[in-house]
Structure 1
Amino acid sequence: MRRLLALLLLWSAHGLAEQPVLRFSVAESWSMPLVRVEGEQPVEGLLFDLMQAIAREAGARPEYHVMARLRLQQAMDEGDIDVRCYVSTQWFNDRPGNFVWSIPLFQQRDVLVGRAGDSDAIGPEQLSHQAIGTVLGYTYSTLEPLFARGQLHREDSRSQELALQKLQIGRYRHAVSNELSLQWFNRRLPAEQRLQVLAVLEEQALGCMVRNDPALPTQGVLRALVRMKESGEIERITRRYGAAVYSGEVFGVRP
């Protein structure tokens, strides 16, 4: 019996060793519901569940590399990561030649957010000269002209959650957030204390990028994402973190 158990353990360890490794990037600026990091490793969240499922479907072993958002492009160029998720083609001036895009997986809306009690719709061009809460390393294309002429100026935070916390305590009057993170932030607040959506700034299709390397199961990952999308697994993951409240308009649950 002991010999049998030893053989089973040996076979299991050998199987894990044979699995290809997929190195996923995790941006430090992500916060729940996208991901929660403990001890430099992700432990839960929508994107953690997604990356775990990708590795499982592709028959690979995931490794997670937590890094500053501004370091991501360098890591891609130097071959330090294999898969980057939660990314839009709109964020790149030049198509990364050594990475292949997946199919679109999610739809995300970036919104202008006001404090509790702000209920009137207002566009960013109507804001007077002021700071606006932003996330370090994030690009906001619809606001760039306002930044350039000095009508608005950025007050960067290391994460989306921190940017919303600063808005809540009055560090500034307005901030930018993706809608899902705002909904997660508001979920435990009484109605009269919830931050308010004042305007939709832009909507983006998000997906993953996979390094095109013969040593990697690149096509296996891309096919896995197609299967997950078609089977409804991506929708189930997003609904787990509250995307259903948007009636199918955010994070891949559009009918």
Structure 2
Amino acid sequence: MPFLLVALLLLTGAAAADERPLRFSVSESWAMPMMHIENGQATGGILYDLQTRLAQKVGRQANQLVMPRKRVQQMLVRGEIDVRCYVNPTWLQESHHQYIWSVPFMIQRDLLVAPTPTLIRPEQLHDEVIGTVLGFSYSRLEPLFASGQLQRDDARTQALTLSKLSVGRNHYAVSNELALAWYNRQRPANQPLYPVEQLSEDLVACIVRDEPDVPTMALLRALVRMKQDGEFDAILARYR
């Protein structure tokens, strides 16, 4: 093999090895099956698998940074996060013009949940304390919180919100559909928490920082391929 060709291959390999990991944000409020966090480290879950696979597809490592939700927002504004997944435009307080939206990869459904089976709309409730997640906004409930008809009881994570409901701290709480199903899997079969009313249904996607040090278009194309090839559905199926 000619010397110049060998040198070129060595340089190319070294450049690829020197490429820094991609920085993915992980909100510490996430719960299984979306994300398992242990000792401040992301270790598993739907989003962990998705983000790890996404980085692999562009030849990078995934640095999954666990942090409070408010810090995620601050780092996005400063461009210190390369990819944020599991987000909807209506959930963001800023425009984040330096980021590009990916195709949606799943639907999140937020549910009003209770310890007993019942059917009731939140607008029919009065003077109830609703279990919620700190920093999360619930569009259908916000007017009821603002008027004082209902009160929030914030917990740090989605799992803690459901735990407080199960021990009787509240009569109702809000949970996304997947977190509720996962939580019920860990409970005795005769003690599930029940969905009362669907509050919202939102498409969720990723945002990718559009800067020269990020393979932005390659990441966006990889997400399209993962969706088309059924890779995300396969990840989701592992946690159902």
Q: TM-score, normalised by structure 2?
A: 0.91
**Other-structure match for 2:121:** 123
| Partner of residue 154, structure 2 | 156
Aligned to 1:62: 62
Q: Aligned equivalents of 1:40 and 1:186: distance in 2?
A: 24
CA RMSD, Structure 1 to Structure 2 (Å): 1.7
Relative distance call for 1:37 and 1:94 in structure 2 (3 A) is closer
Distance in 1 (alpha carbons) for counterparts of 2:19 and 2:238: 28
**Alpha-carbon distance between aligned partners in 2 of 1:157 and 1:23, rounded to the nearest angstrom:** 26
Secondary structure of the residue that 2:190 maps to in structure 1? helix
Name the amino acid aligned to 1:24.
F
Structure 2 distance, partners of 1:37, 1:108, is 20
Contact 1:136–1:159 (CA under 8 A) maintained in structure 2:
yes
Matched, 1:134 2:127: no
Kindly, what percent of the aligned residue pairs are identical? Answer: 48
Residue 42 (str. 1) matches residue 25 (str. 2): no
Alignment correspondent of 1:82: 82
Letter in 2 for 1:148: A
1:76-129 CA-to-partner distances (Å, cap 9, x unmatched) read 0112211000101121355320110000100110000001xx222111011121
Answer with 165-174 or 83-92: which moved more.
Answer: 83-92
Name 1:245's counterpart in structure 2: none
CA contact (8 A) 1:35 1:43 kept: yes
SS across alignment from 2:224: helix
Q: Offset of 1:60 from its aligned partner?
A: 1.3
For residues 40 and 135 of structure 1, the distance between their equivalents in structure 2, rounded to whole angstroms, comes to: 18
**1:19 Cα offset (Å):** 3.3
**Structure-2 residue corresponding to 1:210:** 208
Of 180, 183, 188, the match for 1:182: 180
Partners in 1 of 2:16 and 2:27 — Cα distance? 26
What's the secondary structure of 2:174's corresponding residue?
strand
Residue pairs, 1:27-38, within 5 angstroms: 27-38=27-38
Q: How many residues align?
A: 230
SS at match of 2:54: helix
User: 2:223 is matched with which residue?
Assistant: 225
Contiguous gaps of at least 5 residues in structure 1: 1-9, 243-255
Structure 1's consecutive aligned runs of 4 or more residues displaced over 6 angstroms after TM superposition are none
CA shift for structure 1 position 21: 2.2
| Distance of 2:112 and 2:128 partners within structure 1 | 14
Following superposition, the deviation at residue 16 of structure 1 comes to 6.0
Q: C-alpha displacement at 1:236, in angstroms? A: 0.3
